[in-house]
Structure 1
């Protein structure tokens, strides 16, 4: 009887391990992280802008059931401002990260076109990595007049080198693959082999790179907006909310910066988790773990 019970327990543990292996747990974690970010973004689009109107009789109210994040010095609901600010920051950060991935993929694929192109791409990567990208981002945002366009262009031209280096290394490895060599011997052009053979293998790297670049993009968007070179003060961006709240922290209005900063941290961390777990899912070495 004891042997039967032990066998049943062992079988149950085996089923549990099968159902909850590393890749499945990674899929669950990535799905929850993406669901959180999408929910925040959708809520920001669906929430009414009515609570953002000025109501001086409700100004500087502490967090309560009616106003979970309190109100600011103009009586605006901080919960609505925070959610809408996160939605705006997510949209800008995703556009900026996607633009950076496009630049990185073009640079990485260009390295496969020949030795001269590879040397130029390697030189550009080393050049941009040698300069602090936050300084370059500020300069580019200033040149383009700030705003959404300045942030997207700035992030796109400062965050691509690290991903481009990974793409270039993968392209160099794929160039020596047997099926690529056979295509070249059959008379196929470099562009044909790059788009038909190499690009499909690079798509998982580009997807992971997009998710991992997004936290940097949204944090730098908030920092650039915080110093006044980013989005317009009339837009409820997180950087603007944090910048405006600094002057009121000394008066005890702690909720003006605490809740927006905490929500920004959670959204950034959710995307970071999604990217890391997606990397686990796409890693062929962990297929049977």
Structure 2
């Protein structure tokens, strides 16, 4: 590893992180419903070799349930982040290419959305849409696009001032052709990096909203549901029900956040020669 430059090390580390995240997600998907069913004979067991995270009050294996919950949280976070990133790109392009009043209106909407705490806004949207998966997805997607939209807007404004764009206009190329051939290829890295960086925030908001009872239904094995159920048993000394799933969620979120930072370094042209 000493003979490798910094960029190569970052690429290898990013690949390892990606494989680890995919492995966690795949394990959660492959766990059957029967594996997380309860058994009162195993209820309230502390962590041991047979049950690394212990069992809950219904005798369900918390390790398997945490993995399955992580797969649910990752799915919700990924879909919500993808919708939000697409909204950000469309809004950013519209703001940069539209008239002054369109740009002013979009900036006003961005300021309005960013002025309200995300958790409150997600709860309001989720409650208005009947809670559940649909309301949670729409709430997260509708609140996480603002920062990326401003970044895309600034990038488009900078690209529009480039000489090759001016040459294309003089050659009679349409706005759609310029958007497809000159603007969108430069926006792809920002889209993916923004998507990855929104991902951990979406997962944490999914867990927090489900914990408060405005997100996924109680029968869904999501991390927020697990943590919400654990609150009634903490006073009885069953610390593992909340601590171990909570620490696992934090570690996965930190891993995704670090993966996004490394991906940004890989896509950054200024670090290409490091």
TM-score (norm 1): 0.91
Which of 224, 240, 243 in structure 1 is aligned with 2:225? Answer: 240
- Kept in 2, the 8 Å contact 1:231–1:237? The answer is yes
Residue 88 in 1 paired to residue 72 in 2?
A: yes
Structure 2 residue ranges without an equivalent (≥5): none
Native 8 Å contact 1:40 1:87 kept in 2:
yes
Q: 1:222 aligns with which of 177, 192, 207?
A: 207
The aligned counterpart of 2:122 is 137
RMSD value, Cα: 1.3
Structure-1 residue corresponding to 2:111:
126
What secondary structure is seen at the aligned counterpart in 2 of 1:247?
Answer: coil
Deviates more, 1:64-73 or 1:44-53: 44-53
CA-CA distance at 1:119 after TM superposition:
2.3
Post-superposition Cα deviations, 1:11-69, rounded to whole Å, max 9, x if no partner, equal xxxxx65x422211211221122112111110011123223222111100111111111
The farther-off stretch of 90-99 and 191-200 is 191-200
- 2:256 & 2:13 partners in 1: Cα distance? 11
**1:205 matched to 2:190:** yes
Aligned equivalent of 2:167: 182
Q: Which deviations, in whole Å up to 9, do the C-alpha atoms of 1:145-198 show, x marking residues without a partner?
A: 111111111111100000101111100000001111111122222222112210
- Unaligned stretches of 5+ residues in structure 1: 1-15
Q: Which has the larger radius of gyration?
A: 1
Aligned to 1:44: 28
Alpha-carbon contact 2:95-2:153 (below 8 Å) kept: yes
Alpha-carbon distance, 1:123 to partner: 2.0
Counterparts of 1:53 and 1:281 in 2: how far apart (Å)? 43
Q: Give the counterpart of 1:108 among 72, 92, 96.
A: 92
Aligned residues: 273
TM alignment of 1:265-280, pairs within 5 A: 265-280=250-265
Which residue in the other structure is 1:160 paired with? 145
Retained in 2: the 8 A contact 1:112–1:194? no
Q: How far apart are the structure 2 equivalents of 1:279 and 1:38?
A: 19
What is the alpha-carbon distance in structure 2 between the residues aligned to residue 111 and residue 195 of structure 1? 17
C-alpha displacement of 1:231: 0.3
After superposing on structure 2, the runs of 4+ consecutive aligned residues of structure 1 that deviate more than 3 Å are: none
TM (normalized to structure 2)?
0.96
Tell me the distance in 1 between the aligned counterparts of 2:11 and 2:149: 26
